[in-house]
Amino acid sequence: MDQNIKIIFVDIDWTILSHYKGKHVFDKASIRALKKAQKRGVKVCICTARAYHSVVYTGLLKIFKPDGLIISNGGLVMIDDKIIKEINFTDKNYQKMIDVANELGLTMQITEANGAFFTREPNEYVDHVFAIYQEAYPKVEDYKNRKGINAVVFCTSDYDEKLIAKLPKEMHIFRYYDYAVEIIEEEHIKAEGIKDVLKYYNISTDNVLTIGDDVQDISMFELSKYSACMGNGKEEVKPYATYITAPIEKHGVKKALKYYKVI
C-alpha cells in the first residue's frame, strides 16, 4: 500500500454511478474498493455537483459512508454530517433571481443545505430533466426569507441571453443540460471545497488522490498530486489527470486505487 495517499476525493456521476440507457447503476466493485481503502486508514470523500438531497436520493449514502461530502461543486462542505462551509446567495440577489424567473414564466428550483423546493409549478422542461436524472420532485414552497446555495432554472438555451441580461452581473449561469441552467452567485469550485476538507483534517495536497470524469473535476485534478480521469471521461479533461483509468463499466475507480497502490 502507498502510505503517501491519505485521502481520496471521488465524483459520483459517471465515476461510481452510471446512467447508461436511463438506468442508474452504482459500480459496486469500486464502492467496495473505496471501503477497503477506508479500512486501511485512507479517508474517502464524495465530491460532486449534486445537491445534498440529490445525493441522498441516489441511495449512495445507504451503501457507503464517506468521511466527508463536498456538495454543489463546493457550495456546501460537510464532515461527519457537520456543515463546515456553506455558500449562500445574498438576500438582494436571491430575490432578484426569483423575480427574473417569475417574469419569464419559468420554474426555478432552489437548493438549500438539506433540501430543495420549486418556486412555482413544474413545467415541461422540468419533466425532461427529471426523466433523465430520476430525482424526486420537490414541493412548491414559499421562497421568501429563505436561503439558497444554488438554483436551477428549467428552460431551453433560447432563454440564456435573457437571463444574463436580467440577472445581476455577479451571478454566474452554467447550462448543464438542454432544459436546465444552474445559477450561483459566488463561484463554486470543487478544489476550494477540497481545501476546506484538507484544512479540517490537516492533510497536504501531496497526500491527495482525486477521481472524476468531467470539466468540473479539472480544478481538483490540478490541486492534487495524484489524479485519475475515468476512461469514459471527457477528452478535454483527461490531459489534466496523472492517470487515465478504465471506464465505469470496467470498474475504473477500483483500477485507479490499485494503480496507486491504495488497495
The residues spanned by each domain of the chain are 7-86+188-259, 91-184
Which of 160, 126, 150, 176 is CA-nearest to residue 13? 176
Please give the CATH architecture assigned to the domain spanning 7-86+188-259. 3-Layer(aba) Sandwich (3.40)
- Main-chain dihedrals φ then ψ at residue 99, nearest 5 degrees: -60, -40
Question: What is the gyration radius of the CA atoms in the chain, in angstroms?
Answer: 18
The DSSP secondary structure of 169-222, one letter per residue, reads TT-EEEEEETTEEEEESSPP-HHHHHHHHHHHHT--GGGEEEEE-SGGGHHHHH
Distances (CA, A) of 159 to 97, 109, 126, 182, 247: 14, 16, 15, 12, 35
Q: Are 220 and 194 in contact (CB under 8 A)?
A: yes
**pLDDT by 10s per residue, the chain, length 263:** 557 999 999 999 999 999 876 678 999 999 999 999 999 999 999 999 998 888 998 999 999 999 999 999 999 999 988 999 999 999 999 999 999 999 999 999 999 998 999 999 999 999 988 887 767 899 999 998 898 999 999 999 999 999 999 999 999 999 989 999 999 998 899 999 999 999 999 999 999 999 999 999 999 999 999 999 999 999 999 999 999 999 999 999 999 999 999 99
The pTM assigned to this predicted structure is 0.89
Q: Which CATH class is domain 91-184?
A: alpha beta
- Measure the CA–CA gap between 116 and 110, rounded to whole angstroms: 5
The four Cα atoms 66, 209, 25, 215 give a dihedral, to 10 degrees, of: 120
Q: Are 252 and 245 in contact (CB under 8 A)?
A: yes
